[in-house]
């Protein structure tokens, strides 16, 4: 019997949780028609297989039709949900993993212009800045029907075999009543007393209990401190916690600290990379101490050591490691096997969460199998025929190619021109708060080292030295170099690139124009470096909004640095050219919306316009290859081996991946590698 505090069972009412690690509710936006179908089930079952004791499924599963999902959530108001919930619960139970689900009414935290086009409702008259709907103030008949909707949804979840439910009360309808900041009601549910503010939640709990009985597990995930003047204070939050406990109707408390009404507020609740780890852990422990209730909590507890500390110090009963399980679903299995060092680390990039709003589903930046369990393996199968695989480039894509090929049992050699691995991620890591990104590289280097991958650094690959290695397969992962032209080939003389600034090859000048045609991190990273160096900075984009590819939560740390500096943002302006005039640069600036053109003077113009592929080697190797570099897309998508033959005399298969094909991102490079090489 292990003495590891994390591996001790926890008794929650009648339910024995086999260890102390859970995933908290996180809607990955995988439902189809509002139902958790095959993709959804496979995602949770993979984590169940990996040993997690409990998965809190969904996230904001909607109990009412006037709570339309913000980002493709489960529709718990539909009766058709029950058989799918049953398949989900049976799939997880088969691996000894308890399954619960988070139910909610979003209140004002949604939009009216989707689903059934019903007005959003709230105890507040004010819109939530992040979701923008101006709500209708709830009437008595709304309150009555919503209480009933909660009870109906809970009953459906019980019928689907769930071990329990959790009600969401941070930023959603339940706590919109609680907070003086969001309760504009008068009367029995009004803002004047705490008792009145809690009344709706108490009514909901009572209705649910009446429907599901005493044995079903019911908990709350709630803000116990809004951390904002005029909102629920920590002292009031502890009082709320005690009152919830005193009802005898609540089986666990899942503690949140903060608000989520804006991107910055949400980012303080769910910290991204570069922010402090476990910032609310001690507070969650204080709630546990004050109430004696089973206490759960998650907020950037990404590593096993912190999770262990949380349990051994009595701060938590169950530790949420949610994004950590998106990065590696097999954390518990690896702890049990004594292989903690092999856990693929969550680097806090929060690509996962930002994507559910902007791109439609959650994907992990550096685990391309997450959310693709139906087609991509988390455990790479060993190949039947051993091959020699030569990879050129040790950036994230090249290293993923090397790792997967090595796990397949192939003999792998990596050639890298630089003295260190990492490629573009080395530039990313120039910003201290994004240094964690190097773990994407370090983890792969350790995996490769354990599988005898041979690395040749400071080695410029040419067709000759690649051929001399006698490969069966060549993977070109050489990345790209910054594109210094402007849109459709316009000349961009006298400019430097965002990479020049980030790498420190060029010192920021006094007045800097950062011209961002790409909308991704390097532009704001360069802006941050220049602003911190004291430059006056203007970030300009031809797009309608600036930095569209950085997305909501990832934008927050940039803005926190930039907004008290001399930085301005200009949208919908296009740089047409740059000329030198004495010491200064004169930028000719147009717009896609009219023929208007004007000029402005700067000391330095920095262009961010993606990369052009470093593809010379690829083209040099094509002639000697069997497939001429061609990819069978149908085979790639359907998960079959590549077998195109364009040159029967060829000696090797040749593929290029990542930015060596076209400028994309880290996830794309890693996914290119995984899906190609898992079948080689
Ligand atoms: C893709 C994604 C979706 C999420 N959706 C929800 C949600 O619907 N409800 C909720 O309470 N928390 C949601 N969360 C927050 C997580 O439950 C958790 O609190 C957060 O990720 C911090 O924990 P971690 O650092 O262990 O990831 C979501 C998180 C992610 C990554
Ligand atoms: S995208 Fe980043 S934050 Fe999200 S799970 Fe992956 S590594 Fe963690």
Number of H helices, E strands in the chain: 22, 27
Please give the pLDDT value at position 26: 98
> Which of 15, 30, 24, 73 has its CA nearest to residue 52?
24
What pLDDT does 70 receive?
A: 84
55 C-alpha to center of ligand 1: Å?
Answer: 12
CA distances, 379 to each of 409, 448, 678 (Å): 13, 15, 10
Q: Strand 411-415 and strand 584-591: pairing?
A: unpaired
Does the Cβ of 59 fall within 6 Å of ligand 1?
A: yes
- The verdict on the CB of residue 478 being under 6 Å from ligand 1 is no
pLDDT at 155: 98
Percent of the chain with pLDDT over 70: 100
**CB of 61 closer than 8 Å to CB of 125:** no
- Ligand (nearest to CA of 258): 1
Ligand 2 binding pocket (C-beta < 6 A) is 323, 326-327, 346-352, 364-366
Q: How many CA atoms lie within 13 A of 470 on its CB side?
A: 2
What is the residue with the minimal CA distance to atom 8 of ligand 1? 59
Structure tokens given for 587: 């930028």
The confidence score (pLDDT) of residue 402 equals: 98
CA distance 87 to 103: 18
Hey, what long-range contacts does 134-141 have (CB within 8 A, 24 or more apart)? Answer: 135/107, 135/108, 137/184, 137/185, 138/185, 138/189
For residue 300, what pLDDT is reported? 98
Mutational pocket test of ligand 1: of 24, 277, 346, the residue with most ligand atoms within 8 Å of the beta carbon: 24
Question: Is any ligand 1 atom within 6 A of the Cβ of residue 423?
Answer: no
Closest ligand to C-alpha of residue 254 is: 1
Give the Å distance between the CA of 284 and the centre of ligand 1.
Answer: 16
> What single DSSP character describes residue 490?
-
CB count in 10 Å sphere of residue 412:
28
CA 417 – ligand 2 centroid, Å:
28
pLDDT of residue 423: 96
Distance from Cα 672 to the centre of ligand 1, integer Å:
27
| Residue 556 pLDDT class (50, 70, 90 cuts) | very high
Of all ligands present, the nearest one to the C-alpha of 175 is: 1
**CA torsion angle 23 198 284 108 (round to 10):** 50
Q: What distances in angstroms separate CA 108 from CA 102, 130, 195, 657, one per listed residue?
A: 18, 10, 22, 44
Q: What is the pLDDT of residues 482-534, one digit of tens each?
A: 998 888 878 889 999 999 999 999 999 999 999 999 999 999 999 999 999 99
Our mutation pick for probing the ligand 1 site, out of 40, 59, 130, counting the most ligand atoms within 8 A of Cβ, is: 59
DSSP string, 382-438: PPSS--EEEEE--SHHHHHHHHHHHHTT-EEEEE-SSSSS-THHHHHTTSGGGGGGH
- Which pLDDT score is estimated for 492? 84
Indicate if ligand 1 lies below 6 Å from the C-beta of 102: yes
Decide: 265 in ligand 1 pocket, CB within 6 A. no
Ligand 2 centroid distance, CA of 364 (Å): 5
User: What is the 6 CA–ligand 2 centroid distance (Å)?
Assistant: 22
* C-alpha span between 269 and 271 (Å, rounded): 6
* Cα 322 to ligand 1 centre (Å): 7
Shortest CA distance to 437 belongs to which of 447, 427, 429?
429
What percent of the chain has a predicted confidence (pLDDT) above 90?
A: 98
Residue 671 CA to residue 326 CA, distance in Å, equals 15
> Which of these, 273, 326, 327, 277, lies nearest to 297 by C-alpha position?
277
Regarding the beta carbon of 300 and ligand 1, being less than 6 Å apart is answered yes
pLDDT score recorded for residue 43:
98
Q: Which ligand is nearest the CA of 328, by number?
A: 2
Q: How confident is the model at residue 63 (pLDDT cuts 50, 70, 90)?
A: very high
Q: How far is the CA of 353 from the centre of ligand 1 (A)?
A: 8
Distance linking the first and last C-alpha atoms of the chain? 41
User: Which has more pLDDT, 225 or 358?
Assistant: 225
CA atoms of 201 and 197, how far apart (whole Å) = 8
Q: What is the pLDDT at residue 490?
A: 80
Question: Would the CB of 303 count as within 6 Å of ligand 1?
Answer: no
In ligand 1, the atom with minimum distance to the C-alpha of 352 is 1
Q: Is the pLDDT of residue 604 over 80?
A: yes
Whole-model pTM: value is 0.97
CA of 39 to the centre of ligand 2 (A): 19
Residue 195's SS3 state is helix
State the burial class of residue 581 (Cβ atoms within 10 Å of its Cβ: 0-12, 13-18, 19+). Answer: exposed
Q: Which residue has the tokens 């001690």?
A: 282
109 CA from centroid of ligand 2 (Å): 24
Residue nearest to atom 5 of ligand 1 (CA): 26
If you measure from the C-alpha of residue 267 to the centroid of ligand 1, how many angstroms do you get, rounded to a whole number?
A: 11
Atom 8, ligand 2: residue with shortest CA distance: 346
Tens digits of residue pLDDT in 158-173: 999 999 999 999 999 9
Q: What are phi and psi of 33, to 5 degrees?
A: 55, 30
Q: Which atom of ligand 2 has the smallest separation from the CA of 326?
A: 5
Q: Is any atom of ligand 1 closer than 6 Å to the C-beta of 413? A: no
Measured CA to CA in angstroms, residue 661 lies from 46, 489, 621 at distances of 32, 19, 15
Whether residue 41 has pLDDT greater than 90: yes
Above 80 in pLDDT, residue 1? no
What mean pLDDT comes out for the span 268-296?
98
Is the Cβ–Cβ distance between 377 and 678 less than 8 Å? yes
CA of 546 to the centre of ligand 1 (A): 26
Atom of ligand 2 nearest to the CA of 350: 3
**Smallest Cα–Cα separation from 644: which of 615, 663, 622, 659?**
622
pLDDT of 280 strictly over 90: yes
Whether 376 contacts 677, CB under 8 Å: no
Count of residues making up the chain: 680
Please indicate whether residue 24, judged by its CB atom, sits closer than 6 Å to ligand 1.
yes
- Report the C-alpha gap between 386 and 409 in whole angstroms: 6
Q: Are 293 and 240 in contact (CB under 8 A)?
A: no
């Amino acid at each position: 019997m292990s003495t590891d505090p994390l591996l001790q069972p926890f008794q929650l009412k009648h339910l024995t949780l086999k260890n102390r690690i859970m995933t908290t509710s996180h809607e990955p936006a995988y439902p189809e028609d509002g139902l958790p179908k095959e993709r959804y089930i496979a995602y949770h079952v993979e984590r169940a297989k990996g040993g997690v004791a409990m998965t809190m499924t969904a996230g904001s599963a909607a109990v009412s039709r006037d709570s339309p999902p913000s980002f493709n959530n489960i529709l718990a108001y539909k009766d058709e949900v029950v058989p799918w919930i049953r398949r989900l619960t049976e799939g997880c139970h088969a691996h000894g993993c308890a399954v619960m689900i988070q139910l909610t009414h979003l209140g004002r935290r949604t939009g009216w212009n989707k689903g059934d086009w019903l007005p959003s409702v709230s105890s507040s008259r004010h819109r939530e800045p992040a979701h923008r709907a101006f709500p209708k103030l709830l009437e008595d008949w709304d309150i009555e029907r919503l209480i009933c909707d909660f009870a109906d949804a809970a009953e459906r979840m019980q019928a689907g075999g769930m071990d329990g439910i959790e009600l969401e009360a941070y930023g959603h309808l339940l706590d919109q009543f609680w907070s003086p900041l969001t309760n504009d009601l008068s009367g029995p549910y009004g803002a004047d007393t705490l008792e009145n503010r809690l009344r709706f939640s108490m009514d909901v709990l009572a209705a649910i209990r009446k429907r599901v009985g005493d044995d079903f597990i019911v908990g709350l995930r709630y803000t116990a401190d809004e951390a904002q003047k005029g909102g629920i204070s920590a002292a009031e939050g502890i009082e709320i916690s005690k009152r919830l406990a005193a009802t005898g109707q609540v089986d666990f408390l899942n503690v949140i600290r903060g608000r989520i009404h804006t991107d910055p507020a949400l980012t303080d609740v769910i910290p991204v990379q570069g922010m402090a780890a476990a910032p609310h852990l001690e507070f969650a422990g204080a709630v546990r101490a004050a109430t004696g209730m089973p206490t759960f909590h998650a907020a950037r507890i990404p590593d096993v050591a912190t999770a262990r500390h949380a349990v051994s110090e009595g701060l938590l009963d169950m530790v949420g490691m949610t994004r950590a399980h998106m990065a590696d679903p097999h954390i518990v299995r690896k702890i049990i096997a004594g292989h903690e060092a092999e856990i693929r680390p969550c680097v806090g990039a929060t690509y996962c969460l930002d994507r559910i709003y902007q791109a439609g589903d959650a994907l992990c930046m550096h685990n391309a199998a997450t959310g693709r369990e139906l087609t991509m393996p988390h455990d790479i199968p060993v190949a039947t025929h051993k091959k020699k695989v030569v990879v050129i480039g040790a950036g994230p894509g090249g290293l993923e190619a090397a790792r997967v090929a090595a796990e397949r049992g192939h003999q792998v050699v990596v050639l890298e021109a630089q003295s260190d691995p990492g490629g573009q991620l080395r530039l990313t890591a120039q910003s201290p708060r994004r240094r964690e990104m190097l773990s994407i590289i370090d983890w792969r280097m350790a995996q490769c080292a354990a599988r005898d991958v041979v690395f040749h650094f400071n080695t410029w690959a040419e067709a000759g030295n690649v051929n001399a290695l006698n490969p069966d397969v060549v993977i070109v992962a050489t990345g790209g170099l910054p594109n210094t032209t402007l849109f459709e080939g316009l000349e961009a003389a006298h400019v430097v690139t965002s990479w020049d600034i980030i790498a420190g090859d060029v010192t920021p000048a006094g007045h800097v124009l950062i011209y961002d045609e790409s909308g991704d991190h390097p532009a704001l990273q360069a802006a941050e470096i220049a602003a911190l160096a004291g430059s006056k900075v203007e970030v300009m984009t031809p797009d309608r909004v600036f930095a569209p590819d950085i997305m909501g939560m990832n934008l927050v740390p940039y803005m926190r640095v930039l907004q008290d500096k001399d930085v301005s943002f200009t949208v919908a302006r296009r740089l047409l050219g740059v000329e030198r005039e004495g010491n200064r640069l004169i930028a000719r600036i147009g717009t896609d919306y009219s023929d208007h053109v004007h000029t402005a003077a700067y000391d330095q113009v920095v262009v961010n316009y993606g990369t052009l592929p470093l593809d010379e080697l690829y083209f040099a190797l094509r002639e000697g290859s069997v497939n001429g570099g061609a990819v069978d897309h149908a085979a790639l998508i359907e998960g079959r081996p590549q077998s195109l033959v364009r040159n029967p005399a060829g000696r090797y298969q040749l593929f290029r991946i990542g930015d060596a094909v076209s400028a994309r991102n880290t996830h794309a490079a890693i996914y290119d590698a995984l899906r190609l090489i898992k079948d080689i």
